């Protein structure tokens, strides 16, 4: 039942197009949200740099920039003692191909190599009915580039909606778990699971999470992100 509800929610997401289905220009480093519009939580220890590469689910569609998922995730990590700094490279409407095209630019324009990249792409591929093979190839290329650069990854999974047909779903749904296994990335099986069957946590478009909805998503995913950080950057254990 949960899986069916998740698929129905994905169907609604496709109707909204993750914000916009029009291609977007590659953002300059100054256009990326550096996640500075939030109260600072003082944390000791080595600073952890994270790049959030995604579409409207990272861009914070319909919300103030300081309410986007990467902003809330950074605060949650810092509250757990992780000295995290997240660069938000979420662009509404991006497909996996567009995310792939701007990955090197986004990486090369960071102050230093990120310790982790979190990826939320694929919803607009579903919207356009793109062949699952293309989605897989693009995500595979993104993860391969991160492997080459020695950067760990977290990938936010999606599910194809029932109206795409059984054959399409059979090809699309295994993409995220298979690639996570291949590249030893951390997988969040369904990124929006925390707001399924919770209309109070989605915006009036019945698609994108509200600020409270994103808090629920952060709460459901922060431990997986924290667990993906390299051991040398992880938060120190609490004193005994």
The confidence score (pLDDT) of residue 60 equals 87
The confidence score (pLDDT) of residue 206 equals 75
The confidence score (pLDDT) of residue 61 equals 85
The model's pTM is 0.83
The confidence score (pLDDT) of residue 14 equals 44
183 flagged as catalytic: no
Alpha carbons 59 and 56: distance in angstroms, whole number: 5
The confidence score (pLDDT) of residue 42 equals 65
Is 150 exposed, middle or buried (CB count within 10 Å of its CB: 0-12, 13-18, 19+)? Answer: exposed
Alpha carbons 23 and 221: distance in angstroms, whole number: 28
Count of C-beta atoms within a 10 Å radius of residue 231: 5
Q: Residue 126: name the closest of 24, 15, 47 by CA.
A: 15
* Active-site pick, 7, 20, 56, 92: 56
The confidence score (pLDDT) of residue 41 equals 65
Q: Residue 102: name the closest of 191, 43, 25, 44 by CA.
A: 25
The confidence score (pLDDT) of residue 141 equals 98
How far is C-alpha 210 from the chain's CA centre? 16
Is 1 exposed, middle or buried (CB count within 10 Å of its CB: 0-12, 13-18, 19+)? Answer: exposed
> What are the residue boundaries of the structural domains of the chain, listed by start?
2-231
State the greatest distance between any 2 C-alpha atoms of the chain, in Å, as a whole number.
54
The confidence score (pLDDT) of residue 237 equals 52
206 flagged as catalytic: no
Q: Which residues of the chain fall below pLDDT 70?
A: 1-44, 232-240
What fold, for 2-231? Rossmann fold (3.40.50)
Q: Please tell me whether residue 59 adopts helix, strand or coil conformation.
A: helix
* Active-site pick, 36, 108, 197, 205: 205
205 flagged as catalytic: yes
* Active-site pick, 55, 125, 173, 208: 208
Alpha-carbon torsion 190, 195, 199, 203, what sign?
negative
């Amino acid at each position: 039942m949960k899986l069916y509800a998740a698929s129905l929610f994905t169907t609604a997401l496709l109707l909204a197009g993750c914000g916009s289905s029009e291609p977007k220009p590659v953002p300059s480093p100054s256009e990326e949200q550096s996640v500075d519009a939030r109260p600072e939580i003082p944390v000791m220890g080595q600073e952890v740099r994270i790049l959030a590469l995604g579409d409207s689910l990272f861009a914070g569609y319909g919300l103030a920039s300081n309410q986007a998922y990467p902003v809330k995730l950074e605060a949650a990590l810092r509250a757990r003692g992780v000295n995290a700094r997240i660069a938000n490279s979420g662009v509404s409407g991006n497909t996996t191909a567009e995310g792939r095209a701007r990955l090197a630019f986004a990486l090369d324009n960071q102050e230093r190599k990120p310790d982790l990249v979190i990826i939320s792409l694929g919803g607009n591929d579903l919207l356009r009915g793109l062949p699952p093979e293309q989605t897989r190839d693009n995500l595979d290329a993104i993860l391969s580039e991160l492997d080459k650069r020695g950067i760990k990854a977290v990938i936010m999974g999606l599910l194809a909606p029932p109206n795409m047909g059984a054959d399409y779903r059979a090809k699309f749904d295994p993409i995220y778990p298979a690639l996570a296994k291949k590249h030893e990335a951390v997988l969040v099986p369904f990124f929006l699971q925390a707001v399924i069957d919770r209309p109070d946590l989605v915006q009036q478009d019945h698609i994108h999470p509200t600020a409270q909805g994103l808090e629920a998503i952060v709460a459901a995913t922060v431990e997986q992100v924290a667990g993906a950080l390299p051991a040398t950057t992880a938060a120190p254990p609490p004193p005994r």
